Structure 1
Amino acid sequence: MFEQMAARYGTHGDLCAAFLQELPLDGAAISVFGGSAAETLMCASDATAARLDELQYDLGDGPRWDVFRTHLPVMIPDLGAPGVRSWPAFAEAAAMTNAQAFLVFPLLAGGLVIGVAELYCNAPRVLSPAQVNGATRLASRTAWTLLRGLMPGSESDSAGVPLARREIHQATGMVLVQTDSTAAEALQLLRGHAFASGRSLQDTASDVVSRRLDFTPTTGAAGTDSQ
């Protein structure tokens, strides 16, 4: 049932369905930022989930932008509470939907935010610490799944250029150390950053090797460019 609902909007309904199956939610949406998939709604379980996602994009206002900036989740247990006025345009528009609680989790892979998971409930709700941990775990798993699906599987932008490929391998090793990940995950992070920034894998690798780009996780930000 959840898979059928989540497939109504987008082509990755199984990703939205996972949140609905494991958490006490009424709807979910997943959006990806950056690159050729800029602001792409990957899935939404229903019209309300799709509308909450659309409102934030159209208005340029809402918790998703804070999540993207801070890499931290935003949980609004009651959309009618005064604190929601941090996003006045979104709060006013969201009041026209049937959502009463709204939670946004970053899709984090290493230090890279590739999008958000937007979750809602039809009644005010506070998730337990265990449920928050579960949502965080699901969001991370979703991020890696999307990275593997959205990123090219080959190094075509450096094919036939041995030195370029060598630099990509060197950068992969550096990211592996910075993020305490596997080689495969480090390469996916490189591809993800290239995808999100609209640059080639080779250019991204060059920035890592020259230490203009560092994926070491830090509080509130990681994988950022230094000038």
Structure 2
Amino acid sequence: MSSDLTDSHTNDNHRLHEAILDSSDVHQFLDELCQHAVRSLSLGEQVLCGVTLLRDREGATVGSSSDYARKMDEIQYSFNDGPCLTAAREQVVVEVPDIRREERWPHYAEIISGHGLRSILAVPFDLAGDAKAALNLYSDAVNKFTAPAIERARTYANEASRSLRLAVRIAQHSERAGNLEAAMESRTAIDIAVGIIMSQSQCSQTDAFSVLVRASSHRNIKLRDLAEQIVANSNANSKPATHFD
């Protein structure tokens, strides 16, 4: 690879890294990563691109160049096997020159070819740790991914891995933060409801909480939902608010 092309890839992926730092929406960034991959690899707009991430041994598309590209990835997940999952799991490049001649995944190949796709290239990202991912490229042309194209894709995935690692960490942090916020909101509603029961029944906090739990079980309703109902019935402002610093 020429130094000019290497410098071009390096500059592009530096911009990707800066983009994820500036992005407020990780999923939008990952979609843009796929669109950027197609442009950067000079593969043409007809090529579909997705990013498969393995979590708890299950595959999920975390970014795609289009809704159709995402659907093509999801076909593979229904079989829990295929070129993209193999690339991510085994950290190897997987090329399918003509899906109609593919023997490794016959049922998957039949369905994919029914969508008019002919060749597939899956290249692993280097995420380090337990997370694994692959860049998935689909084309309606046989032998679309030539040796130079495969090498460009391999180089691109290697250089974009740093940005993807950061995106995955941000997404995981956001997910944990979202779960924490939901838990805190749930706790807030329950605490307020317990206070209301204590005031109305002139009982202790422990007894009030027991009343709430028994009512939740008797009515077959989640504790948080019952708590929010109690708060709403006692307050015209309805749903309790949780404040974060």
CA displacement at 1:78 relative to structure 2: 1.2
CA displacement at 1:41 relative to structure 2: 1.6
CA displacement at 1:31 relative to structure 2: 1.7
Please tell me whether residue 29 in structure 1 is matched to residue 47 in structure 2: no
Please tell me whether residue 58 in structure 1 is matched to residue 74 in structure 2: no
Asked whether the 8 Å contact 2:35–2:64 carries over to 1, the reply is no
Aligned equivalent of 1:49: 69
CA distance in 1, matches of 2:110, 2:91: 25
Letter in 2 for 1:32: L
CA displacement at 1:80 relative to structure 2: 1.4
Aligned equivalent of 2:60: 40
CA distance in 2, matches of 1:86, 1:38: 20
What are the superposed Cα offsets for residues 53-110 of structure 1, whole Å, 9 maximum, x if unpaired?
10111111211232234311111111112xx121012111112212111111111245
Select the structure with the greater relative contact order (CA < 8 A; seq sep ≥ 6).
1
Please tell me whether residue 145 in structure 1 is matched to residue 163 in structure 2: yes
What are the superposed Cα offsets for residues 139-171 of structure 1, whole Å, 9 maximum, x if unpaired?
1233221211222699xxxxxxxxxxxxxxxxx
TM-score (norm 1): 0.55
Distance 1:105 1:97, change over 3 A: same
Please tell me whether residue 132 in structure 1 is matched to residue 153 in structure 2: no
Aligned equivalent of 2:198: none
Asked whether the 8 Å contact 1:107–1:116 carries over to 2, the reply is yes
Aligned equivalent of 1:199: none
How many corresponding residue pairs? Answer: 143
Asked whether the 8 Å contact 1:67–1:73 carries over to 2, the reply is yes
- SS of match in other structure, 2:84: helix
CA distance in 1, matches of 2:130, 2:36: 22
Q: Please identify which structure carries the higher helix content.
A: 2
- Determine which of 87, 94, 104 is the counterpart of 1:67: 87
Asked whether the 8 Å contact 1:30–1:115 carries over to 2, the reply is yes
Asked whether the 8 Å contact 1:71–1:113 carries over to 2, the reply is no
- Across the aligned residues of Structure 1 and Structure 2, the Cα RMSD in angstroms comes to 2.8
TM-score (norm 2): 0.51
Q: Which runs of 5+ in 1 are unaligned?
A: 1-9, 155-227
Asked whether the 8 Å contact 1:106–1:113 carries over to 2, the reply is no
CA displacement at 1:129 relative to structure 2: 2.9
Aligned equivalent of 2:34: 16
- SS of match in other structure, 1:125: coil
Q: Write out the 4+ residue segments of structure 1 that deviate beyond 6 Å after TM superposition.
A: none
Q: Mapping of 1:59-138 within 5 angstroms?
A: 59-81=79-101, 84-109=102-127, 114-138=132-156
Letter in 1 for 2:96: I
- In percent, how many aligned pairs have the same letter? 20
